[in-house]
Amino acid sequence: MQPATIEKTQTKVRRADVYIISSVKNNIEEIFNELYIKWREETRFDSFIGNPDHNCYDEIVKLGRDVIPYIIDKLREEPSLIFMPLVRITGKNPVKEENKGIIKKMAEDWIQWWEKEGNA
């Protein structure tokens, strides 16, 4: 009789874990979207498009690797310097030398990295 009770308890825990993981991922996406919007609004008049020194970058980095797909999605929608946190999150910089300084090309390099290596 006890094994059945333990098994039911474990099943409930597993379901709760799945729910918690799902909630955390949804929260990461929501938090990222809020930070992205704030960053865009507060830096739209900066001479350096999308100021990478803005505090939203640090907050995005704190979200960790789980935020990467959301950053990539934004790069697909609209190339911007939102890829800057990726360097700190991943420890990589796939931007080709000839593309440095060309935001659209730099974003494309990150998208290609994600499709080949990052999403593995």
pLDDT digits (tens, 9 = 90+) for 56-115: 888 999 999 999 999 999 999 999 888 989 999 999 999 999 999 999 999 999 999 999
Q: What does the DSSP assignment read for 6-26?
A: HHHHHHHHHHHHHHHHHHHHH
Pick 48 or 40 by higher pLDDT.
Answer: 40
The structure's pTM equals 0.73
Domain that holds residue 57: 2-118
The predicted pLDDT at position 116 comes to 94
Measured CA to CA, the distance from residue 66 to residue 30 in angstroms comes to 12
The predicted pLDDT at position 51 comes to 55
Confidence of residue 7 (pLDDT cuts 50, 70, 90): very low
62 residue type, one letter: K
Measured CA to CA, the distance from residue 56 to residue 33 in angstroms comes to 11
Of 112, 78, 79, nearest to 95 (Cα)? 112
User: Average pLDDT in the 26-55 region?
Assistant: 77
| Pair 75, 82: CB distance under 8 Å | yes
Tokens of 111: 């998208």
| Pair 82, 39: CB distance under 8 Å | yes
The predicted pLDDT at position 33 comes to 93
Collapsing DSSP states into helix, strand and coil, what is residue 36?
Answer: helix
Number of domains composing the chain: 1
Q: At what angle do helices 68-77 and 2-43 cross, to 10 degrees?
A: 40
Residue with tokens 């929608």: 77
**Mean confidence (pLDDT) of the chain:** 78
